[in-house]
Amino acid sequence: MFTIENYTSSLKKGLEEHSDNLIRNIKETIHFNYYKGIDLLDFTAFVQGFGMSIVMYSMDGGASEVFYEGSDSSIFSGSHDLIEDIEYYDGKSDEFWEFYDQNGEELSKIETEAIVEWFAACWNKAGGTSVKMPAYFSFHDYDPCFDLHNSKWITDGDKWFD
């Protein structure tokens, strides 16, 4: 039998299985030689079912992705895949989907909070706060985003400043 508590516990355990990989990948980005035209980092989760990919985008203050077009190969700009197609919950049974249909709104909220808490914890463990430019975590096509330096939700529009 499925319960909200069991779902939450299993969800967090499924995310935790990918923590070492995510922390390692975030640590890698900390040492990038970022192009001077980058104003902020935008970590975006693409969720499909119970699978997820996370991509880091280098952005300017006007909400455009920044690309370096020079010849110095040590300079980073553009996007970088942090996690590709991980599965964090096994929701394959018909019984589970009946439970999900009955509790979808609450489970969706729990899932969003759990993923953000997990990413922020990995960001902190990786030393992400040493990155001097603003950094945000969001879900693709979802307005609120999480300010990783200030540990709070903001509207997506509040992170742009041009």
What are 135's two structure tokens? 């950094």
Q: What is the pLDDT of residues 69-113, one digit of tens each?
A: 999 999 999 999 999 999 988 877 888 889 999 998 999 999 999
User: Is pLDDT at 141 greater than 90 in this prediction?
Assistant: no
**Distance from C-alpha of 144 to C-alpha of 153, rounded to nearest angstrom:** 6
Q: What average pLDDT does the structure give for the chain? A: 94
Q: What is the pLDDT of residues 17-49, one digit of tens each?
A: 999 999 999 999 999 999 999 999 999 999 998
- Single-letter amino acid code for the residue at 46: F
Whole-structure pTM value: 0.94
pLDDT at 95: 87
DSSP string, 72-134: -TTEE-SEEEEEEEEE-----SHHHHHHHHHHHHHHHHHHHHHHHHHHHHHHHHTTGGG--S-
**Distance from C-alpha of 29 to C-alpha of 128, rounded to nearest angstrom:** 9
Residue range(s) defining the domain that contains residue 104: 4-159
What are 64's two structure tokens? 């455009």
**How many domains does the chain fold into?**
1
Dihedral angle at the C-alpha atoms of 136, 59, 108, 21, nearest 10 degrees?
-70
What are 84's two structure tokens? 């590709």
